[in-house]
Amino acid sequence: MKVVTAEKMQEIDKGAIQKYGIPEVILMENAGIEVTNVAKTILTSLEGKKVCIFAGKGNNGGDGFVVARQMFYQGAKVKVFILGGLESIQHSAKVNLNILQNMNIDIVPIKSERDWDKVKVTLAFSDCVIDALLGTGFRAPLQESMKNLIETINFSGKPIIAIDIPSGVDASTGQIDTIAICATATVTFGLLKIGLIFYPGADYTGEVFIKNIGFPYSLLQDECIKQTIITNSIVRSQLPERNGDVHKGLCGRVLVIAGSKGMTGAAALASLACLRAGAGLVTLAVSESVHDILSSKLTEVIIKTLPEENEELIYEESLKTLMDLANKNDVVVIGPGLGRNPSTVQIIQKFIEQTDKQLVIDADALYALSKNTNVLEEKSRMPILTPHLGEMARLINKSTDEIKNNLISIARETAELFQSIIVLKNSRTVVAYPDGNVYINTRGNAGMATAGSGDVLAGIIGALAAQHNNSNFDSAVCGVYLHSMAGDIAASAGMIGLIASDIVQAIPSARYGIQE
């Protein structure tokens, strides 16, 4: 399912009108009808229902005028409020406003104090509110009077149906300027907008209905729309199958380089997640000093040690051990809990530079990598990097705020710059490829914001890359989705208090559920 910015949706609107000759009033009519249908489902019937419609001065307001007329036809008692005068309403919105005026439908421009009182009284007695104030044309900051109106509407506690996007949510980013309509349902047109799926916007939408209001299919499926939501069907078709006639050596061999004193859990979680995600053989390389701890934690993982002196890995010997181990495996997951000891950092840097194996680079290996990212573009197998916002900030020398506000574009640019797959972890994780394609995950839950969750993800991606026989393209997208589905299963016992091991345990049933 593709997802667009406000600008791209406006291009699609324009394309439908100019390239295909579909008149704007027809699109607007269809939009109004679709919203009316959803309202009818929510309210069971429109007959006798009191509906309060708040319309802005652009085409979002125009959609609201059509809803007023369509609901009136179906027996609803409608009242339309418009903030300020009616003079600046133009084009198709004006056409529909004229029809309402000709039908003597109650239209109230909100200008005086008395009008604000009317708004409050009408809201108090209404069954439903239609939010047609601002759509894809909204640009922050919100005008003061608009803020007050949104606050008044939210305060009413009535069911609110937002047209296209809740007013006040930036359709391109999901950002909110202090306040936005808190909708019960949102009826959006053509395609999902980024603002409907990214937080905080996603918290304001209620149930989202996507309706095609007459856009030609070719416009909605345009190749240049490079954002896609990860769905079950995408993942199901890409998850590696397992034949009956196999042995463990054919199911993917993964080397996990992880763990250090005080951070053995990260190594355990990453390597167990790897096995739970279906890898046939998992070898964990750890420093001598934590070998015994991990041996007692892990039964099914092969554990190899890296020589140490004075609590530091010995450079030459450790590097050689790692290179030998890597050669016996299909994929290497490097980073969880490795620590930032100078000798460790040096070894990681050299290892990443020298190995020709498929790499999944996470956590402390990203720290080591941030000193020299040039090695990435030279790798024969495209590396997969799994940074959270802080790690990404260090890698590309930008603030976490800047990254958070531009997740998609920054992930995309970095993937191109590093010629790597970037799995940028966040409440909506995005997976960006150097060709500009970005996949967005909308599954998972806030309970997954817990220590070790990222280690589990790195392990899952490593396992899938090994099973994909090094077709790393699918393993990042599938891994992110499988991780979130496992998180959702784990959260069924309670979201708060979920721990990373719960996610590990749920991986096989999540995978079974996806492939069913």
Ligand X SMILES: NC(=O)C1=CN([C@@H]2O[C@H](COP(=O)(O)OP(=O)(O)OC[C@H]3O[C@@H](n4cnc5c(N)ncnc54)[C@H](O)[C@@H]3O)[C@@H](O)[C@H]2O)[C@@H](O)CC1
State the DSSP H helix or E strand holding residue 416, giving kind and residue range, or none if neither.
Answer: helix 407-418
Stated length of the chain: 516
* Cα distances (Å, whole numbers) of residue 331 to 190, 323, 501: 41, 12, 22
Report the nearest approach of ligand X to the CB of residue 97 (Å): 13
- Give the distance from CA 248 to its chain's centroid: 34
**What does 149 interact with, of ligand X, K ion, none (CB < 5 to 8 A by kind)?**
none
Q: Residue 143 Cβ, how far from ligand X at the closest point, in Å? A: 4
Binding residues: 59-63, 131, 135-141, 164, 167, 266, 337, 388, 425-429, 454-455
The listed partner (K ion, ligand X, none) that binds 146, CB under 5 to 8 Å by sort, is ligand X
- Give whichever of 189 and 439 is closer to ligand X, judged by the CB atom: 189
At 103, list the tokens.
């039908």
For K ion, the nearest residue by Cβ is: 167
For K ion, the closer CB: 167 or 227: 167
Q: Is 426 in the site for K ion (CB under 5 A)?
A: no
Closest separation in Å from C-beta 8 to ligand X: 12
- DSSP per-residue string spanning 443-463: ---GGG-STTHHHHHHHHHHH
SS3 state of residue 468: coil
* Closest CB 135 distance from K ion, rounded Å: 5
**What b/e sequence results for 23-45 when a residue is b if at least 16 CB atoms lie within 10 Å of its CB, and e otherwise?**
ebeebbbbbbbbbbbbbbeebee
167 binds, options ligand X, K ion, none, Cβ within 5 to 8 A by partner type: K ion
Which of ligand X, K ion, none binds 131 (CB below 5-8 Å, type-dependent)?
Answer: K ion
**Residue 287 backbone dihedrals phi, psi, to 5 degrees:** -65, 150
Least distance CB 3 / ligand X (angstroms): 15
- Nearest distance in Å: CB 136, ligand X: 4
| Residue 141 preceded by cis peptide, ω within 30 | yes
Nearest to 353 by CA among 370, 378, 334: 378
Q: Which residues are annotated as a binding site for AMP?
A: 425-429, 454
Which is nearer to ligand X, 111 or 139 (by Cβ)? 139
Residue 92 contacts residue 121 (beta carbons within 8 Å):
no
Q: Are 459 and 491 in contact (CB under 8 A)?
A: no
Could you tell me which stretch among 92-100, 127-135, 228-236, 469-477 binds K ion (CB under 5 A)? 127-135
Under 8 Å between Cβ of 274 and 302: no
Binding mask 155-194 for K ion (x = CB under 5 A): -------xx---x---------------------------
- Smaller CB separation from K ion, 63 or 362: 63
Shortest separation between residue 404's beta carbon and ligand X, angstroms: 21
Binding partner selected for residue 189 from ligand X, K ion, none, CB under the kind-specific 5 to 8 Å limit: ligand X
Residue type, 396: I
Instruction: Report how far residue 422's alpha carbon sits from residue 98's, in angstroms, rounded to the nearest whole number.
Output: 51
Q: How deeply is 224 buried, as exposed, middle or buried, from its count of CB atoms within 10 A (0-12, 13-18, 19+)?
A: exposed
Smallest gap from Cβ 100 to ligand X, in A, equals: 15
- Please, what is the minimum distance in Å from the beta carbon of residue 498 to ligand X? 37
3-state SS of 200-256 is CHHHHCCEEEEECCCCCHHHHCCCCCCEEECCHHHHHHHCCCCCCCCCHHHCCEEEE
| Residue 96 C-beta: closest distance to ligand X, Å | 10
Q: Which is nearer to K ion, 154 or 467 (CB)?
A: 154
| Member of 131, 170, 391, 488 binding K ion (CB under 5 A) | 131
Give the C-alpha separation, 228 to 433, whole Å.
12
Residue 244: which of ligand X, K ion, none does it interact with, CB under 5 to 8 A by kind?
none
Choose from K ion, ligand X, none: what does 57 bind? Cβ within 5-8 Å by kind.
ligand X
Please tell me the distance from the alpha carbon of residue 48 to that of residue 40, in angstroms, as a whole number.
12
Buried b (16+ CB within 10 A) or exposed e, 420-455: bbbbbbbbbbbbbbbeebbbbbbbbbebbebebbbb
Q: Which does 260 bind (CB under 5 to 8 A by kind): K ion, ligand X, none?
A: none
For ligand X, the closer of residues 92 and 358 by Cβ is 92
Sites of contact with ligand X (CB under 6 A): 13, 17, 24, 27-28, 31, 56-63, 134-143, 146, 163-164, 189, 213
- Alpha-carbon torsion angle 216, 218, 222, 223, nearest 10: 170
CA distance 193 to 134: 14
Which does residue 62 bind out of K ion, ligand X, none, counting CB within 5 to 8 angstroms by kind? ligand X
Residue 204 interacts with which of K ion, ligand X, none, CB < 5 to 8 Å by class:
none
Q: Quick one: 30 or 271, whose CB is closer to ligand X?
A: 30
Binding site for K ion (CB under 5 A): 131, 162-163, 167
